[in-house]
Each structure stands twice: as C-alpha cells, then as structure tokens.
Amino acid sequence: MGKNSKPKESAKGKGKQAAGGSDESSKGKGKSGKSDGLGTCTYVKARHILCEKQGQINEAYKKLQDGWLGNGDKVPPAEFAKLAAEYSECPSGKKGGDLGWFPRGKMAGPFQEVAFNTLIGATSAPFKSTHGYHIILCEGRKN
C-alpha cells in the first residue's frame, strides 16, 4: 500500500509543481494568455524624447495626447519619431529618438524601470531621470 500511495503523492506533487510553474509563468500575461514580457524580458527596443525642461516635455506629451493617446490609440512609431526629432535634446532625436535594442542594466534607474515596464506599442507618461524629462515608446521585447 505504501508503494501505491507514494506514486500517487508523487504524481500529485508533480501536478502541483507544474501548476505552480504555470502560475509563476503566467505573471505578466494578459487575458489572451500571451506573455507581455513585463519584468521577464532581457532586452527592450524603444524610442524616447528627452528634454531638459519639464515644460517642453509636457508640450510634446500634449501633442501625443491630442493626436492619439487622448482617443485611446497607440502612437505610430513614425509619428513619435517626428516629435522626437522636433523636441528631443538627445543625440538620438536625429534618429527619431530610436535607442534600438538595449539590455537590462544598461540604462540608469528610472529610465530602465519605465522602459522595461511599458507595454509594446505603449507610450509612457513623462517622467524625470538624472538626464532630464523623458517620454518612452516601447517597440519590442526579447530575451
């Protein structure tokens, strides 16, 4: 009897582990069950707008709100790139704010936090870092 109960317990244990594993892997998954990569991805592809003054970043963000965000729409990367070229004080502004793919740990504090926690296709609200004020458009995630 002890032999029969052990495999049952073991099978139950494996089932629980598998369920526990799937519960753990379901973190960051939306209703569709597909992972959004938040908190788990290693690389992010993003564009940004960097301004030294808060008033200037707010002006750029207002244009994003008036054009897309206010309607619940996503900002097209080409349109974000135009605003980055117009407003960003970062050298990447000339490339439409394109930062390309960058790994976790490359960007400083709040920038990394926002970049790795913004959904693909979403635009962050303005935020402050040691370099100034930013808006980020997340374009992709990978491990």
Residue appearing with tokens 């301004």 = 51
pLDDT, tens digit, 9 for 90 and up, residues 30-54: 333 445 556 678 999 999 999 999 9
Handedness of CA 55, 60, 66, 71 (dihedral sign): negative
pLDDT band for 25, please (50, 70, 90 cuts). very low
End-to-end CA distance of the chain: 47
Please state which of the ranges 21-25, 58-62, 68-72 shows the lowest mean pLDDT: 21-25
CATH number for the segment(s) 49-142: 3.10.50.40
CA angle 23/138/97 to nearest 5° reads 160
